Amino acid sequence: MNINVDSLNSGFSKEIKFDGNITLPKSLVYHQDAHIKGRGTITNSYGKYTFEGNIIAKVGFDCNSCLKEFNKEIAFDMVEVFSKEVTDDEEIWLFSSKDNIINLEEPIKTNLLLNLPMKALCSENCKGLCHICGHNLNDGDCGCDRDYIDPRFEKILHLFKNKEV
């Protein structure tokens, strides 16, 4: 995810392709290790370098409903501007003029986090877990009577029902 812009003169662009692993901040929804594949162009315009490209991130999740692990590819476009000189534009990323290398890792992470879902479901029709025995209902039925209501609770349910009316 490092781009060497040593020989990229102003007014010129170059095509880039890269891939690698990144570590995301801790979360209960997604796994920290993600794999990135990206391609795009970097253009130098009077010392402002613009990266424009497409990223495909492979991210691991734990299903919110059945707890199963699954991977999902998340694709997004991103445009970011880099400069060696400090500017008052907060949108511009600063990079060191010492080695002329732009590191795309942080900008990619920032963009990826904006594109991650708040909730993760292994499939739209995930059936979840049986609340009686914990069996994953996507693997078939377990035979539990999940409509059964403990008679001790039934009274309480009635109270709630009456309140609603």
Question: Which residues in this chain contact Zn ion in the complex, by CB under 5 A?
Answer: 63, 65-66, 122, 126, 130, 132-133, 135, 142, 144
Provide, rounded to whole angstroms, the least separation between the CB of residue 68 and Zn ion.
5
Of 7 and 125, which has the nearer Cβ to Zn ion?
A: 125
* Smallest distance from Zn ion to CB 133, Å: 3
Q: Are 34 and 24 in contact (CB under 8 A)?
A: yes
Minimum CB distance to Zn ion, residue 33 (Å): 21
Q: Please, which residue, 43 or 138, has the CB nearer to Zn ion?
A: 138
Give the end-to-end CA distance of the chain in Å, rounded to a whole number.
61
Nearer to Zn ion, 1 or 144 (CB): 144
Residue 94 near residue 73 (C-beta atoms within 8 A): no
Q: How far is the CB of 131 from Zn ion (least distance, A)?
A: 8
Smaller CB distance to Zn ion: residue 109 or 135? 135
Question: Which residue in 141, 125, 122 sits closest to 133, CA to CA?
Answer: 141
Core vs surface per residue 3-35: b (16+ CB within 10 A) or e:
bebeebeeeeeeebebeeebebeeeeebeeebe
